[in-house]
Structures are given as C-alpha cells and as structure tokens.
Amino acid sequence: MQTESAHSQSTFDFATYLAEKRVLIERELDAYLISKEPKMLWESIRYSVLEGGKRLRAILCLTTGLAVIQEKLSTDEVVQTVLPCACAIEMIHAMSLIHDDLPALDNDDLRRGKPTNHKVYGEAIALLAGDALLMLACETLLTKTPKLISMDSIATVTNELCRATGAEGMVGGQVYDLEFTGRVEQLRTEGGIASDTSTLELIHRGKTGALIKFSAWSGAKLIGASDKELGQINKFSEVLGLAFQIADDLLDVTGDVKSLGKTPGKDQAANKVTWVTLFGEEETRSRLKHLEAEGLELLDNLDCASEPATALRRLLQYAIHRSN
Ligand code: IPE
Ligand code: IPE
Ligand code: MG
Ligand code: MG
Ligand code: MG
C-alpha cells in the first residue's frame, strides 16, 4: 500500500508530463506512418492520426508501464519498450474516430478542430484508412516492440488488443450505441432503465472503456506486472474508462465548439442514449464525483512507483474535469 507523499504531489508538474509524453508519442507515430503509395490513403491516415488529440490512452499506457516497480529497466528503457504499444493504441483510437464520424454512424463534420476525415477524403477512403489502421496497429505492436520482450508476451498483448477493439469490445459497444440511438424516451417511459444504469454501462464499457482498459493493462503487462498488480490496474481503469465517456457525454452539453474541436449538442439532437440524455446534467456530475473518489481510492491501494502513481491520479482527474 502506498499513498503518494505530499512532497511528490506538490513537485509533480502534470502539464509538463503530458506535453513531454505527447511529443514522444507523436514523433514515434510520425516515424511509423511514413507516406507511401497510394498517396491519398496515407494522407488520410496521417491526417487523422498525427494532428491533434489528447493522447490520453497512449500516455496511460506509458504511465502504467512506469508504475511497475522493477529493477531491470531505466525509465527511458521502459518508455521505449512500451512506446510501440502506445502508438498502436493511438492508431486504433484514430480508426475508431474516423469510423465514428461517418454518416452511417454519428455523421460528424468536425473533429479535433478540423473537418472530419470523410469530409476531406471521401467516405470510401475514410473507411479504408480505418481498415488500414487496424492492421497497422497490430503490425506495429508485433514488429516494433523491442526484442527484450518475449514473443509470447507480445502475442498475449496483441491478442488482448484485438479483443478490446473488436466485437467483444469497442466495435460491440458502437453497435449497442447505434441500437439504442433514438430510444431515450422509450427507455425512460418503460422504466427500469432509468433506475438501472446497465444499458449505459454496456454501451460505455464497450465503445470507450475497452480500449482504455487495454491501454492501462498493456503498459504494465509489457513491463512484467504481476497478476495481482494487473488486477488492481484493471479495476482502476474500468472506473477511468467509464468516467471518461461520462465526461464526454457531459461535454456534449456543456462544451463549446472552439475548445471541444467537435460540434456540441449532437447527442441530444441524435437522441443518443448518454448519461446526460437519460439522467440529466446534475445526476451526471454526481456520478462523475463518485467515480473520481472511487478511482482515487483504488489508486491508494496500488503498490507502485511514486511519480507514476501521482500521474495516474492526475490522469483520472484530467479525464473527468477536462474541457475537450
Ligand atoms: C473521443 O476520444 C472519443 C471518445 C471515446 C469519447 P478523445 O476525447 O480521447 O479524443 P482525442 O483523441 O483527444 O481527440
Ligand atoms: C465514440 O463515442 C466512441 C468511439 C469512437 C469508439 P462518441 O461518439 O461519444 O465520441 P465523440 O463525441 O464523437 O468524440
Ligand atoms: Mg459515437
Ligand atoms: Mg461520435
Ligand atoms: Mg461523444
């Protein structure tokens, strides 16, 4: 058990931590995604992966890698070991955003302050760029992870990435999201669901939670965390993933287009089942408050290095209190 010291809290500069990790991740992504033929496909891929984004999932992956207490690797070696996985996660995430914005799904025109991928490259290329990114992510994890990690371990992590992304994870969650779209009133009047959050959790844990859970788990797994540590990290990241999507639901109502970089008010307009459309703003804020307390408590019980423990706390708070 380790509660962070007041000292480490006060000396830890979270803004610098985020900025440094973002530079590292973006430099690596840029190197992995060198433009080739067909030009339009690679332009489309680079457009959605490289420009903008908080990089929260990739930073989470690096941070849980750094959190594992071990003697064999320096901080820099840990980062280099986990970086390909962190980049693979950003590729999957970018793919999910490209597809999520398509007219067949959320039909959005603005993402990260720019026109969505299909608005620039057309729907066909947007679909295909997403397909390519799925495979590029697996390729990156399998071929770029340093050889000091056993192929067995890399295969385990790659398998988990496939599960988190596919029908049992993100893709399944997106399907639940679509299935429940337009049914807010029905769910309210039918009762049951209004008092029972299981439908929302089914959607949120799938479409958003699965990749966030993988992000936290994979960094620690690659660095050799024990099953006990991985179990604790999973519990924490389930709270983080749920809170992250609930905060996104809230931002759709409270955010402005400039800071969000995407069009607000879309959930209400599309009659999406979100925390806010089902339970209202006040209840949503209260749920977030509870999740913040729960997540912080779980971190108190996590046996890990002091600075990464502080970074994980801040990441949870950032996920909940962010403005974009
Ligand atoms: C947006 O994710 C999609 C959701 C799962 C809510 P982010 O809010 O992490 O998007 P970027 O990467 O920072 O643009
Ligand atoms: C997106 O959820 C989840 C995935 C991309 C998998 P949202 O549809 O709420 O995300 P935004 O609001 O468009 O970023
Ligand atoms: Mg969506
Ligand atoms: Mg969307
Ligand atoms: Mg949203």
pLDDT per residue as tens digits for the range 216-271 = 999 999 999 999 999 999 999 999 999 999 999 999 999 999 999 999 999 999 99
Q: Give the chain's radius of gyration (CA, Å).
A: 19
* β-bridge partners, 111: 114
| Residue 110: φ, ψ to 5° | -130, 135
Distance CA 156, CA 164 (A): 12
The reply to whether ligand 1 has any atom less than 6 angstroms from the CB of 177 is no
> Can you give the pLDDT at residue 8?
54
User: How far from 110 is each of 41, 106, 120, 133, CA to CA, in Å?
Assistant: 20, 11, 11, 20
What pTM, to 2 d.p., does this model score? Answer: 0.96
Q: What is the pLDDT along the chain (324 residues), one digit of tens a residue?
A: 444 444 455 689 999 999 999 999 999 999 999 999 999 999 999 999 998 999 999 999 999 999 999 889 999 999 999 999 999 999 999 999 999 999 999 999 999 999 999 999 999 999 999 999 999 999 999 999 999 999 999 999 999 999 999 999 999 999 999 999 998 888 777 755 444 578 888 999 999 999 999 999 999 999 999 999 999 999 999 999 999 999 999 999 999 999 999 999 999 999 999 999 998 999 999 999 999 999 999 999 998 888 999 999 999 999 999 999
Query: Which atom of ligand 1 lies at the shortest distance from residue 97's CA?
Result: 3
Instruction: For 290-300, write each residue's pLDDT tens digit.
Output: 999 999 999 99
The reply to whether ligand 1 has any atom less than 6 angstroms from the CB of 248 is yes
Closest C-alpha among 311, 317, 322 to residue 75: 311
| Residue 148: φ, ψ to 5° | -65, -15
**Residue from 56, 99, 253 to probe ligand 1 pocket by mutation (most atoms less than 8 Å from CB):** 56
- How many angstroms does the Cα of residue 101 sit away from the middle of ligand 4? 6
Residue with tokens 């620690």, as numbered in its chain: 220
Please state the separation of Cα 191 from the chain's center in Å: 31
Q: Is residue 236 within 8 Å of residue 295, measured between CB atoms? A: yes
- How many angstroms does the Cα of residue 98 sit away from the middle of ligand 4? 9
Query: Which atom of ligand 2 lies at the shortest distance from residue 108's CA?
Result: 13
